[in-house]
Each structure stands twice: as C-alpha cells, then as structure tokens.
C-alpha cells in the first residue's frame, strides 16, 4: 500500500473520538475500568471481566497482588521514589545485581519501556561495533514479522508497513531480513552488520515461536561475522514461557537482551542487559535516562523478579501452558481454528477470520483478549491465573469463536 493510499484509508476509518481528550491512537471498547483483583478487572457498572491480556503481558501477577502492593508500600516508606541517575540507589543496584546473577549478562541499563530498552540496545550495538571495527559497521538487521516498538529507531526494525509508512524516513542502516532457515548465513553482512535483533517468539507478529535450530544458526552466523545477537524478550521474558528467559528453551545465549513489559509488574520499566564486552565499549555520557531505574520501580521489579523466578512458580506456568495447548489443539482439531502456537502462557489462535470479531464477542461474554495481527487471537493470562479461571477463560473463548 502506498503512503497516499494508507493515509486515505486511515482518514476514512478514523474512529469517533466523541469528545475524548485523548489523542485517538487507540481503539478502546466501552468499559471503563475502576478496579482489579487477581485475573479480573471490574468496570464502573460493577461487571467483572476475566483478563487474558494481562495488560499485554505486563500484569504477570495479575491485578492487586500483595507482593506488588507491599513492594510499593515499602518503597514509599523509605521516602525514596526518585533521585535521577545523578546518584546511585540501593534498589537499582540490587535489581541490576539480581539480573546479572540470573542471566548471561554482566551489566544492565535501565529505562522505562520496551521501545526504550531496544533504543539502548541499538545504540550500544553501534558503539560496540564501530569501536571494534570502524565506521562501516553500523547496520542493524531485524527479521520478517518482528516487532520492536514505536519510537523511530525501534520502528525502523518493526516489520509493519502500516506502522512505518506514515513516518518515513526512518533510521538508516537498518534492514528487515527473511527468517528463512536456509538463508540464515545471508542475514549477516560481515562488512556492515553490527547486530541482529530478534524475538525468540514473535509476539505482535502472530505469536510465532522461532525454531531453536533457526536461533542456533543465527547465533553461528553472528559469531562468524562477529556481530551481536540481540534478543528482544520484552514480551516473552521473565517467566511468560515457563522458563525465566524464553531463550533458555533453545540453549542459545544472546549478547544483549531487552526486557520491559512484566518487569515491574505493572509499573513502567525497561532494561537492556549486555555482556562485559559490550559494556566495555560504553562511556559515561553515551546514553542516559532521567527516570530509568528509579528506586520505586526498581524495588517493585526486584520483588516481581524474585517471585517469578521461584522454580515452583515457573513449573506451574509450564503445567498451565500444557493445559492451554491441549484445549487449543482440540479447537484446531475440531476445525474451529486454523492453528494454535505458543509456549507457557502466551498463545496465538489463528482463527482464519478477523480476530477483532472474536475479541469483540469475548468482551461481550466477559473475557478480555487481544489480537496479534489480523487473524490471530492472543491469549496471555496472568502467570498466576487460577486453574478454574483458566478453564473459564478457555470456555468463554470457545463460545466466542
Ligand atoms: C511491546 C513490545 C515492545 C515495545 O514495548 P513498549 O513498552 O510498548 O515500548 C518491544 N518489543 C516487543 C517484543 C514487544 O512485545
């Protein structure tokens, strides 16, 4: 679609803002939420909705969880909510230490969102590559179907014409490559490529797990060219797949990993985790954030991380994920959907019809879902969803098909 066509179709479909003071970038349904408890949200009419969106993978512990409430309260009790990064704080230092101890990484940069975590990853990759190889090594490669955020750099690596076209020109020295198992070697150009960025499971692109052998081939291609491999685990990291990091399923370790959505359990936070080799190339002043890693959010994030990393908690996510797989596969076998893909508690059901219709019917039935592309209904309940709520949600989904 050309830019002109796109703008005209957009103009024809701009939703009624009906006096809303919000910029109309979101299509929001009618309910106005005033509260939450566990896996449910409650609207101003007193209706309960079972939340299988988890705020797009953010509310990993559901709504109103005591761990999060206590962490916020403890933080408020210290009187330490913000200091800026002019100074060190204990919560940020402790959280960075925890993340380093529980991952491949040697150092962490904190920000406030997934897009920001990716922007930092892109800057760090360029800094590392140009320091090591000179000014030609600036290219960042993303993969077909990937999503990395809406800021200009992250958008340049997001494979959606509708998101990109109205905002051209985007960042130079970026490229979207085919995720073709036979052509992995061609993804990395040793003369130009600084890094390849990939989601181990593409979330927005339709919940598409990348096969472990593809990730391994990509790791090899990056190693041969000495380019960095960046895993965007903003949506699938921190327990969503039933392992702490999604890449653990493949045994492939990246050089850089970005986190955000569930990190602070509902408060905004992003993190960019890097190896010592990458960290060494970064100088004071190269990057920064006023709010990033503030003591309130960092304290909450540490509580969330510790809770989610408990082996019994992760095992429970895997058990529930197996139950979801079983029920969705039965739906596919019955011919009521085309495909079911996912891992842990992130699933995509390819319904072969507009996903928005299913999402709308589910809302009427009291189940909150979102789509992942035009035909895929996405299921992402809180990681601690109760077994009976999980069954109820799957029943409501079936009724909504
Ligand atoms: C949501 C998402 C982002 C962007 O996160 P924001 O917090 O919305 O900026 C980036 N990458 C992936 C994989 C995501 O799912």
**Tens-digit pLDDT profile for residues 337-376:** 999 999 999 999 999 999 999 999 999 999 999 999 999 9
Cα of 199 from ligand 1 centre, angstroms: 10
CA-based radius of gyration for the chain: 21
Find the mean pLDDT for residues 307-336: 98
- From 189, 98, 183, select the one nearest 140 (Cα to Cα): 189
pTM for this model (two decimals): 0.95
- From 95, 100, 90, 138, select the one nearest 274 (Cα to Cα): 100
Residue 68 near residue 303 (C-beta atoms within 8 A)? yes
pLDDT, tens digit, 9 for 90 and up, residues 10-47: 444 444 456 789 999 999 999 999 999 999 999 999 99
The pLDDT score that the predictor gives to residue 11 is 45
DSSP 221-259: HHHHHT-EEEEE-TTTTTTTTSSSSGGGGTT---SEEEE
Angle between helices 387-400 and 311-333 (to 10 degrees): 20
Do strands 270-274 and 256-259 pair parallel, antiparallel, or not at all (unpaired)? antiparallel
Kindly report the protein residue whose alpha carbon is nearest to atom 8 of ligand 1: 114
Write out the two tokens for 347: 């699933």
Kindly report the protein residue whose alpha carbon is nearest to atom 5 of ligand 1: 114
Confidence of residue 5 (pLDDT cuts 50, 70, 90): low
Sorted by sequence, the CB contacts under 8 Å of residue 88 that are 6+ apart come out as none
Q: Is the CB of 113 under 6 A from ligand 1?
A: yes
Give the mutation target among 117, 204, 247 for probing the ligand 1 site: most ligand atoms within 8 A of CB: 204
- The average confidence (pLDDT) of the chain is 95
Q: Residue 7 above 50 pLDDT?
A: no
Distance CA 151, CA 172 (A): 14
pLDDT, tens digit, 9 for 90 and up, residues 87-144: 999 999 999 999 999 999 999 999 999 999 999 999 999 999 999 999 999 999 999 9
Residue 136 near residue 126 (C-beta atoms within 8 A)? no
Sorted by sequence, the CB contacts under 8 Å of residue 385 that are 6+ apart come out as 39, 62, 320, 345, 393
Distance CA 274, CA 93 (A): 16
DSSP 9-72: HHHHHPPP-TT--S-TT----S--EEEEEBTEEEETTS-EEEESSHHHHT-TT-BS-HHHHHHH
Cα of 231 from ligand 1 centre, angstroms: 12
Residue 12, CA distances (Å) to 5, 84, 222 in order = 11, 44, 44
Percent of the chain predicted with pLDDT > 90: 93
Give the mutation target among 146, 261, 380 for probing the ligand 1 site: most ligand atoms within 8 A of CB: 261
- From 150, 167, 156, 66, select the one nearest 115 (Cα to Cα): 150
């Amino acid at each position: 679609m050309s830019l002109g066509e796109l703008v005209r179709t957009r103009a024809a479909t701009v939703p009624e803002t009906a006096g809303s003071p919000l910029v109309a970038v979101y299509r929001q349904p009618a309910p106005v939420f005033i509260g939450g408890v566990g896996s449910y949200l409650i609207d101003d009419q007193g209706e309960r909705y079972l939340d299988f969106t988890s705020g797009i993978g953010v509310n990993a512990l559901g709504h109103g969880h005591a761990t999060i409430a206590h962490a916020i309260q403890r933080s408020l009790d210290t009187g330490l909510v913000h200091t800026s990064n002019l100074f060190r704080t204990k919560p940020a230092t402790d959280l960075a230490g925890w993340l380093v101890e529980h991952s491949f990484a040697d150092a962490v940069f904190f920000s406030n969102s997934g897009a920001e975590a990716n922007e930092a990853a892109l800057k760090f990759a360029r800094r590392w590559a140009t320091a090591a190889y000179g000014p030609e090594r600036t290219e960042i490669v993303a993969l077909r179907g990937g999503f990395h955020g809406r800021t200009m750099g992250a958008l340049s690596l997001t494979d959606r014409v509708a998101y990109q076209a109205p905002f051209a020109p985007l960042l130079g020295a970026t490229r979207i490559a085919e995720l073709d198992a036979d052509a992995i070697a061609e993804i990395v150009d040793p003369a130009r490529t600084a890094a390849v960025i990939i989601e181990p499971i593409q979330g927005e692109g339709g919940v598409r797990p990348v096969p472990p052998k593809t990730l391994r081939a990509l790791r090899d291609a990056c190693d041969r060219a000495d380019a960095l491999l960046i895993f965007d685990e903003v949506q699938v990291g921190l327990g969503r797949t039933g392992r702490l990091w999604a890449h653990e399923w493949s045994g492939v370790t990246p050089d850089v990993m970005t986190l955000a959505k569930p990190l602070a359990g509902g408060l905004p936070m992003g993190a960019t985790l890097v190896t010592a080799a990458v960290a060494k190339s970064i100088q004071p002043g190269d990057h920064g954030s006023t709010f990033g890693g503030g003591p309130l959010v960092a304290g909450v994030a540490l509580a969330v991380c510790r809770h989610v990393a408990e082996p019994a908690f992760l095992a429970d996510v895997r058990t529930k994920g197996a139950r979801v797989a079983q029920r969705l596969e039965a739906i596919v076998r019955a011919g009521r959907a085309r495909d079911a893909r996912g891992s842990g508690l992130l699933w995509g059901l390819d319904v072969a019809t507009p996903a928005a219709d299913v999402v709308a019917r589910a809302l009427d039935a009291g189940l909150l879902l979102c789509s992942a592309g035009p035909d895929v209904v996405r299921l992402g309940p809180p990681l601690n969803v109760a077994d009976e709520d999980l069954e109820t949600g799957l029943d409501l989904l079936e009724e909504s098909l």
